[in-house]
Amino acid sequence: MSRKLLIATGSKGKFPEIVKELGALPVEFLSLADLGYPADYEIEEPAMTFEGNAIIKAMTMGKKSGLLTLADDSGLEVDALGGRPGVFSARYTPGEDADRCVKILQELRNVPDGERGAQFRCLVAIYDPETEKVRTCEGIYRGRIIREEHGTNGFGYDPIFYNDELGKTNAEMSMEKKNSVSHRGAALKKAKEILIKEFLN
């Protein structure tokens, strides 16, 4: 019987991305909704680092559910803003994703094109309540912030994050293409190897 793996995120956008990347694993993927948590359920993120928040989320939900649990904490780090919004990416300003994109664009309105570099950082934590084992891995994805939103795919800051190599924003890419280049895709590739070697053998 395959092991259950809880993906500890309340984000409707993240869950399918994570499952798609880890899909070949011999596990049954469960969401928080599968365990009866409401759609707006949020796990507290009190740490000041992505790694700290990912570990807290994985351990909190792993202990509550008794299941092998994977959680991530990700965010946008803009060079010209000294790394902001960072760990506050999801709550940088009240409202929806579009409001947060607008805030970043306003803050960068006087920043020239050559100085609009940015990166997404993703920390994945895996926690097994049976053994108390915790493992983490990281992915980073460089790009730049353009001057207006483009594309309707994805979520978060995807419409303003531009990949020069592909000539499009994250929100103009298919999920498959985005996973192949993104911070979360990079971290999940490492997580997949860790799961196979250390948690599923």
For the chain, the straight-line distance linking the first and the last C-alpha, in angstroms and rounded, comes to 13
pLDDT of residue 40: 75
Residue 1 pLDDT > 70: no
Cβ-based neighbours of 41, under 8 Å, separated by 6 or more: 10, 32
The model's pTM is: 0.88
73 part of the active site: yes
DSSP per residue, 143-177: EEE-SS---SSS-TTGGGEEETTTTEEGGGS-HHH
pLDDT of residue 106: 97
pLDDT of residue 176: 85
pLDDT of residue 6: 96
- The proportion of the chain whose per-residue pLDDT surpasses 90, expressed as a percent, equals 77
Mean per-residue pLDDT, 174-198: 91
In this structure, the dihedral spanned by the alpha carbons of residues 76, 79, 84 and 87, taken in order and rounded to 10 degrees, is: 40
**pLDDT tens-digit map of 118-172:** 999 999 999 999 999 999 999 999 999 999 999 999 889 999 999 999 999 999 9
Contact between 133 and 75 under an 8 Å Cβ cutoff? The reply is no
Domain regions of the chain by residue span: 3-199
pLDDT of residue 14: 82
Residue 82 pLDDT > 80: yes
CA-based angle 13:15:18, to the nearest 5? Answer: 110
Question: 72, 73, 128, 158: which one is catalytic?
Answer: 73
Q: Does residue 79 or residue 45 have the better pLDDT?
A: 79
When the candidates are 3.30.1360.10, 3.90.950.10, 3.30.750.24, 3.40.50.2000, the CATH number that belongs to 3-199 is 3.90.950.10
